Chain A
Amino acid sequence: MKQVNFIVRENVPIAADTWKLVLEGDCSAISGSGQFVQLSIPGVFLRRPFSVSDVQDGLLTIVYKVVGKGTRYMTALKEGDSVDTITGLGKGFHPQKTGRKALLIGGSVGTAPLLLLARELLAAGKEVEVALGFNTATLVFYKEEFEKLGLKVHLATVDGTAGLKGVVTEAIAPARGYDYYYCCGSKIMMKAVAAYLDTPGEFSMEERMGCGTGICYGCSIQTNNGPARVCADGPVFAKEDMIW
């Protein structure tokens, strides 16, 4: 965990209500995919948590959906602005748990952290396939980014405006040969995935946060290992630990 003042390099919309924020600064506290950062946003009291979407050459990328006051203020960030950030938070994904091939499952903005994970898996010599679910075509992002890495991407939209018609399990169905999966999305979506797949896997959970650093116990969930803080004991939890 480290406090860093990042400098905004880019802040642009990449899909409907969905923005990409690229920050330059000390990324050394970030140990891997699935971790998150807490951004201080002028005008709101508490920091806001966002998954690390990518880290490359001292640049940290975040993808955020505009859902309320804080994320609305974030759209006003301009190149050169300073963003007070706590980085390197939480326990992330475990790429080493994949034997030969991984399936990455993203729901809506939950797709964001899977990009860095895909890179890590490829670097470790694993095969990767991707299944993404969105509500409608205008919300889709990162399909090309995964394809540029040479990955097969299965896409589903609820209204059928892009890819297969249906929820994310429609996108999962055609995927083949994976021995482990990684899933990030809404709780309802992840619960459905856990019920749908017998394969072992892990989930990146979300809970309303206070501190994001493990000191307030605002984000606790019950797991099969007892109470756990999503921010510090997670956000990534193994499938067998989850109580839906």
Chain B
Amino acid sequence: MVRDISTSVCGIKFRNPIIPASGTFGFGLEMADSMDLNLLGGISLKGTTAEPRYGNPTPRIAECEGGMLNSVGLQNPGIDRLTGEIVPSLRKVYGGVVIANISGFSEQEYALCCEKAAACEGIDMIELNISCPNVHGGGLAFGTDPRCAARVTAAARKAAGHKKLCVKLSPNVTDIVEIARACEAEGADALTLINTLLGMRINIATRKPVLANTTGGFSGRAIFPVALRMVWQVAHACSVPVIGCGGVGTAEDVIEMMMAGASAVQVGSENLRDPFCCPRIAAELPAVMERLGIEKLTEIIGTV
């Protein structure tokens, strides 16, 4: 029997639910010579800000049991190059869903980037990364306070016009549902969760932090249960679709995320260990579905 692995998120169709997560697959073009990008349901592009950014000093990468930490610090060429050069080039080789991941350090910056992304034909969806520190809010991340999250979502919603807007939530909060509801109320069409958990490592020989930035975002297989729990909570509390992200590395993980309530699934750190993992996971889905008696992937969304 043919297994249907297509899905959709707020009206946007995906040929399969697999999306490389922002920051873990560059701008897609980096891999264009090494794989057929069209095997990917969507691509979430590297986080982009209004101006080009170099990011944090190195080392930017650390490791732990079952996962890793990063403090890349949003290195990117700026929104104008994204919309003017990168997305048009990507569109020449990629027909799936292109998701622009937008970051900012003020509401104005988010709004400006969203406006420019909305005007870019090749972008299908905007994903708002609200884990960035708010320079006008004492450096606290937008996504850790429901009022801040609501305000930045409202500003982005207005700037994004008709373009679909997805808000990517930070897990570094006490009540993820409260934040999710605040974003939904301000017009988010979908929610991605989760971003990285704040973490730290120390080199006990040098007695210094491993990361030059001291702390960084913890991701990878080890965070899967945290991500799954948050997807499950939010999917049951909100009516907008959820894109699950965090610790996914196998087709079984994808199915588990979808049972918890995800309509599509992002794969992050696993791309760093295996740049070919996304097409592999997509290719493995039908066999796992067959084993589990699933005909159509969308039939399992939120069934737990």
Contacts and interface: CB of A to CB of B under 8 A. Distances in A.
B55 A1 contact: no
B75 A217 contact: yes
Contacts of A227: 54-55, 75
Interface stretch (B64-72, B108-116, B171-179, B230-238): B64-72
Interface stretch (B145-153, B272-280, B286-294): B272-280
A218 B26 contact: no
Given A3-B276, A211-B271, A218 B60 contact: yes
Contacts of B220: 45
Interface stretch (A54-62, A132-140, A151-159, A202-210): A202-210
Residue in A208, A210, A220 whose Cβ sees the most chain B Cβ within 10 Å: A210
A5 interface: no
A63 to B, nearest CB: 23
Nearest to B221: A45
B24 interface: yes
B85 interface: no
A141 B135 CA distance: 53
Interface in A188-217: 207-211, 213-217
Nearest to B28: A215
A208 B272 CA distance: 13
Contact of A220 (B31, B54, B271, B273): B54
A45 B23 contact: no
B142 interface: no
Contacts of A210: 60-61, 68, 70, 272
Interface residues of A, number: 26
A222 interface: yes
B224 interface: no
Contacts of B62: 208
Contact of B70 (A1, A86, A216): A216
A216 B63 contact: no
A65 interface: no
A79 B26 CA distance: 36
Contacts of A40: 273-274
A215 B273 CA distance: 11
A208 B54 contact: no
B24 A216 contact: yes
Contacts, number: 92
Given A40-B273, A211-B275, A46 B68 contact: yes
A220 B75 contact: yes
B218 to A, nearest CB: 11
A218 B70 contact: yes
B34 interface: yes
> Which one of A40, A207, A217, A227 has the greatest number of beta carbons of chain B within 10 Å?
A217
A162 interface: no
Contacts of A214: 26, 30
Given A220-B55, A222-B54, A227-B54, A215 B24 contact: yes
B81 to A, nearest CB: 12
A214 B70 CA distance: 15
Nearest to A216: B272
A17 B64 CA distance: 24
B89 interface: no
A1 B220 CA distance: 23
Nearest to B65: A45
A210 B216 CA distance: 13
Interface in B20-72: 23-26, 30-31, 33-34, 46, 54-55, 58-68, 70, 72
Given A45-B63, A220-B60, A215 B70 contact: no
A23 to B, nearest CB: 18
Given A46-B273, A217-B60, A217-B75, 9 more contacts: A40-B274, A45-B273, A46-B68, A46-B272, A47-B273, A208-B58, A208-B62, A211-B24, A216-B61
Interface of B: 23-26, 30-31, 33-34, 46, 54-55, 58-68, 70, 72, 75, 220-221, 271-276
30 contacts: A1-B33, A1-B275, A3-B276, A44-B63, A45-B65, A45-B66, A45-B221, A45-B273, A47-B273, A207-B58, A207-B59, A208-B58, A208-B62, A210-B61, A211-B275, A215-B24, A215-B26, A215-B31, A215-B272, A216-B23, A216-B61, A216-B70, A217-B26, A218-B58, A218-B61, A219-B61, A220-B54, A220-B55, A222-B54, A227-B54
